[in-house]
Amino acid sequence: MLSENDADGAQGGHAHVPVMLPRVMELLDPALRDRPAVCVDATLGLGGHSAALLAAHPQLTLVGLDRDPQALELAGRRLTAFADRIHLVHAVYDRIADVLADLGLPHADGILFDLGVSSLQLDADERGFSYSRDSDLDMRMDPTQGPTAADVLNTYAPGDLVRILREYGEERFATRIVSAVVKRREREPFVRSADLVELLYAAVPAASRRTGGHPAKRTFQALRIEVNAELEALRGALPAAVSSLPVGGRVVVLAYQSLEDRMVKRELAAGAASRTPVDLPVELPEHAPELRLLTRGAEVATDDEIEDNPRAASVRCRAAERVREATS
């Protein structure tokens, strides 16, 4: 998957290439190798990572989650050869614990998050995720429920729109953009993405457009995050994932924009930190770290991978291993 902020537009015709696949396989391998194991692909998408994991680990049971029914259908076709070892579930990734319980699985030995908008969603003109192609302003990862991006633009209070653009898009011209949005929606509601893109070209100063990339990228990212409650879901999903791991289990997260990566960094760092009071000379076992970080900071894709798959350019990979059970 990828961030609209960094990967929109070009490569619409690229074949689906799982991002950082060799490194993901390497990080998860010790938790899955040579034994019956369970791995949760929390963001199934088109199933590229899942297919590779299932092929590499013949005893693996894979649980694939996705909120997009179309992704589940297409991934199911791709994974037909492994049908007896997969469970594909229509769910958002903050329901990891519930899904495992419903399937009667006590834990997950490996968990993978590949955050952001999927190649399937970005490349489908009718889904409205891309600012480079005109379509209905939808942006729902699950098109069966919830408000669309057009609903957000047409009904939210101006103050809420400014907050969304600032927090989720880190857009410094949020007030200026929202002022233009309010004037436009009073005349005619937003329906198509081209109308919003045209407004953003006019609202964002030319000097910023020359140095800051496409004027629509931050607003589109912010709307997508709001429509899909992405940060709220991730905030609940990360602790649920860690709690679902046994000792020796591993979690790998691929993030594509700074807001998500900062959340991942904080959650994993907190789990890897000792809670023993600093004035005690010895580590208290019940306060020892629950996680061991497997990456030094955030790892990035290689130059060769970015050349082959430009959508990997903004990825940040973090991973951790469970080293201690939680104590009450």
Inform me whether the pLDDT recorded for 326 exceeds 80. no
Contact (CB, 8 A) for 309 and 18: no
Percent helix, strand and coil across the chain, each rounded to 5? 50, 15, 40
Work out the number of other CB atoms within 10 angstroms of the CB of residue 5. 25
Fold of 128-228: DNA polymerase; domain 1 (1.10.150)
**Residue 17: per-residue pLDDT:** 80
Q: Which residues pair with 251 in a beta bridge?
A: 111, 320
C-alpha–C-alpha distance, residues 234 and 238, integer Å: 6
- Domain range list for the chain: 4-120+230-322, 128-228
C-alpha–C-alpha distance, residues 150 and 184, integer Å: 12
Inform me whether the pLDDT recorded for 183 exceeds 50. yes
Q: What is the mean pLDDT of residues 47-58?
A: 97
**Residue 9: per-residue pLDDT:** 36
Q: Name the band, by pLDDT with cuts 50, 70 and 90, for residue 14.
A: very low
Contact (CB, 8 A) for 137 and 193: yes
Amino acid making up residue 310: P
Inform me whether the pLDDT recorded for 114 exceeds 90. yes
**Is 13 within any annotated ligand binding site?**
no
Q: Domain 4-120+230-322 has what CATH class?
A: alpha beta
**Is 48 within any annotated ligand binding site?**
yes
C-alpha–C-alpha distance, residues 248 and 226, integer Å: 35
**Is 93 within any annotated ligand binding site?**
yes
**Residue 253: per-residue pLDDT:** 98
Q: Name the band, by pLDDT with cuts 50, 70 and 90, for residue 282.
A: low
**Is 114 within any annotated ligand binding site?**
yes
Q: What is the pTM of this model?
A: 0.88
Backbone phi, then psi, for 184, in 5-degree steps?
Answer: -65, -45
**Is 6 within any annotated ligand binding site?**
no
